[in-house]
Structure 1
Amino acid sequence: MRETNKVFHLAIPCKDLDETVEFYEKLGCRLARRYDDRVTFDFFGDQVVCHLSPDNIDENPKMYPRHYGITFLEKKEYDTALEAATAKELPFFKEPMVRFKGKQEEHMTFFLVDPANNLLEFKYYHDASMAY
């Protein structure tokens, strides 16, 4: 089980700091720090650092095997995130869908793509025991 004194950290490339800040703030993430070569966000309680690295951008991203995101344990939070992404016209990589329909691991999901083509998945399992 996760303890409250731990924060997951993820570092990813970005191609432009200003557009990166705009995207993640629209997503609801708080800008924690900004330097000439990177920005750090509070990403739903965890830390995402976007390093300025325009030569390391995946020009043709695919959902698998590389993406990251949030698994909501409350459907209302998933719905709120989806509504916010739609209202703020954030770019969808994959529209909302249901995966593994009819199985225990059935879940609702959607993917966004940030300005550096990093893919973000947001999902909600109907059976919370399937979150791990």
Structure 2
Amino acid sequence: MAITRYATARWEGDLKAGAGRLETPRSGVLAGTRYGFNTRFGDENGTNPEELIAAAHAGCFAMALSAQLSEAGHPPSFVESRADVELSMDGGPHVTGVKLSVRGEAPGVSADEFRRHAETAKANCPISKLLASVPISLDVRDA
């Protein structure tokens, strides 16, 4: 059984002066969300593809780590993750890597055990697997 999720994008105009809107019709989370050249390469408000990838990776990783800890008999009190997607402009824009960082608390789990579970979650999270063409680092921080 497969689960399909989708989003739509509409772009109008050229790359620099144009603008786009993103939609996630099923959830409604993105409803006409603006994106454009200056939200991606500048500091204008709005989203961009790299930010959306970062959000997807942070969310997927946090869920995967929660599952790892729960399966080991230590459901976490919390897991907080961050994903930084790096976009290089050298030789044309391209993603060069992702930096994951996480902190959390799981009763009965040592810092070393937490780190091992985090590494396993990083390797097995579906979004990590999707992004396997770029290096993904992991920083595990104390709760």
Q: TM-score, structure 1 length as denominator?
A: 0.31
Question: Could you say which structure has the higher strand fraction?
Answer: 1
Higher relative contact order (CA 8 A, sep 6+): 1
How does the TM-score come out when normalised to structure 2? Answer: 0.29
- Report which of the two structures shows the higher radius of gyration computed on alpha carbons: 2
- Greater helix share, structure number: 2
